[in-house]
Chains A and B, each alone.
Chain A
Amino acid sequence: MKTSQYTNTPIHIPAPLRSYTGGQSIINVNGGSVEEALNDLVHQFPALKQHLFNEEGTLRTFVNIYLNDDDIRYLRQTSTELSEDDELTIVPSIAGGCPAVSFG
């Protein structure tokens, strides 16, 4: 069920970024889309901003955002709408695993 602006969505924070969220691994944010949810997250914890977004304000290439089990790049990117019971997860693109360098 689609809801409005006021969807309350938990975002799971990866271990390396928890020093910027006071040690919390889950933060509840408001917003009707992934973009709004992320904006609320960096509004609550401004020090997170430079770690998630580049100077142009777009998500850094090695930061993956999952909506439930799906990478938002396979959905509607940051415009993806959020519904009740959705969960977001910030997943580092490497474990180190796969920063997929394109040589092509």
Chain B
Amino acid sequence: MLKLATHRVVEKEIQRKNDLVSVTDIIREIGETPLLTLTHITADLPASVSVLVKAEFLNPGGSVKARSAWRMMSEGLRSGALSHRKILIDATSGNTGIAYAMLGAALDLRIRLVMPANVSESRKKIMRAFGAELELTDPNELTDGAQRRVQEIVRRDPDRYFYPDQYNNPANWQAHFDTTGEEILTQTEGGITHFVSALGTTGTFTGVTRRLKLHRPDVLCIAVQPDMPLHGIEGIKHLETALVPGIFDISLVDEDMRVSTDEAVAMTRRLAVEEGLLVGTSSGANVVASLRVAERLHEGTVVTILCDDGTHYLSESPGSESSP
């Protein structure tokens, strides 16, 4: 009910500024995802320790990014900065692009996405299927290069574009403060002891952590990064060698945990085979780190995020490993 009531307030404000924009049912389905208990993967843990996963892959568009993309877009629509006369442009490595594209289709808005050329073909196809325009940048500059390209385009013609800038827009983490964090508190009845989240734009970690610590300052929040600058864990950043997002607040990190690509990939497979959860490698990294945390506890409730759906990861590539 909370979801519907909140949506109605936002929708009214949007309509006041943009009477041509109408919010569709699919958008109302964002958020309020289930919190699932891992059972088989956690079989060795004492009964007093549980690992719960927020099933963000069930959001429209298949990822957690539906929340932040919608928050940034709805703020633009409410202020009038985004309208049918503007093109939404942003840099993305995939999931936010898919979320923007899906929302753009639902709202009849033009979406232009800038991404490194090595974003997988299946992701590019999904974004195009929703009608988004794509511009590809040098793969060796990663999303940092895509960000610089967007800034150049917007500088040249600022009135033409709405640039949410997911790496620096407080609406990104606020989406998680108001929704994901709030939902985790409700679903655990305030009993969460540890929160584990990988860092990409850092929006999920920052927003959820701020909300949890407001409720209980002793909840320990663990930030997960790849163990090496060049890695294969999609959507997450090695902050020492990347542009650090402006919304990141290092003072919120109680513990910095590193996960290797091999560990993340192996856990991603286990989640599919042992739990029936077909998710992406950043979810695998989150669960690896959560198990490490859980193994140290005698009692506790560890919560992490299953960031996205795993079907995007099934495209054949010569780099794919054979299964064990």
Contact across chains for B232 and A16 when beta carbons are under 8 A apart:
no
Of A1-9, A37-45, A78-86, A88-96, the segment with at least 4 beta carbons within 8 Å of chain B is A88-96
Q: Does B217 contact A (CB under 8 A)?
A: no
**Please, how many angstroms separate the alpha-carbon atoms of A98 and B142 in the complex?**
13
Contact across chains for A95 and B118 when beta carbons are under 8 A apart:
yes
Specify which chain A residues have a CB less than 8 angstroms from the CB of B119 in the assembled complex: 95-98
**Please, how many angstroms separate the alpha-carbon atoms of A68 and B319 in the complex?**
18
Specify which chain B residues have a CB less than 8 angstroms from the CB of A99 in the assembled complex: 232-234, 261, 265, 281, 313, 319
**Please, how many angstroms separate the alpha-carbon atoms of A12 and B138 in the complex?**
11
Q: Using a Cβ–Cβ cut-off of 8 Å, how many residues does chain A contribute to the interface with B?
A: 35
Q: How far is the CB of A95 from chain B (nearest CB, A)?
A: 4
Contact across chains for A92 and B242 when beta carbons are under 8 A apart:
no
Specify which chain A residues have a CB less than 8 angstroms from the CB of B261 in the assembled complex: 60-62, 99
Q: Does A71 contact B (CB under 8 A)?
A: yes
Specify which chain B residues have a CB less than 8 angstroms from the CB of A90 in the assembled complex: 140, 230
Q: How far is the CB of A82 from chain B (nearest CB, A)?
A: 19
**Please, how many angstroms separate the alpha-carbon atoms of A89 and B120 in the complex?**
18
**Please, how many angstroms separate the alpha-carbon atoms of A101 and B281 in the complex?**
8
Contact across chains for A92 and B314 when beta carbons are under 8 A apart:
no
Nearest to B310 among chain A residues (CB) is A101
**Please, how many angstroms separate the alpha-carbon atoms of A51 and B233 in the complex?**
14
**Please, how many angstroms separate the alpha-carbon atoms of A13 and B143 in the complex?**
15
What residues make up the interface of A, taking CB atoms closer than 8 Å to B? 12-17, 19, 25, 50-52, 60-64, 71, 73-74, 89-104
Instruction: List the 7 shortest-distance A-B pairs measured between CB atoms, nearest first.
Output: A62-B232, A96-B234, A98-B120, A16-B229, A99-B232, A100-B320, A100-B317
Can you list 19 pairs linking A and B with CB atoms under 8 Å apart? A13-B140, A15-B241, A16-B229, A16-B230, A93-B319, A94-B93, A94-B118, A95-B93, A96-B94, A96-B233, A97-B119, A98-B118, A98-B121, A98-B122, A99-B265, A100-B314, A100-B320, A103-B278, A103-B314
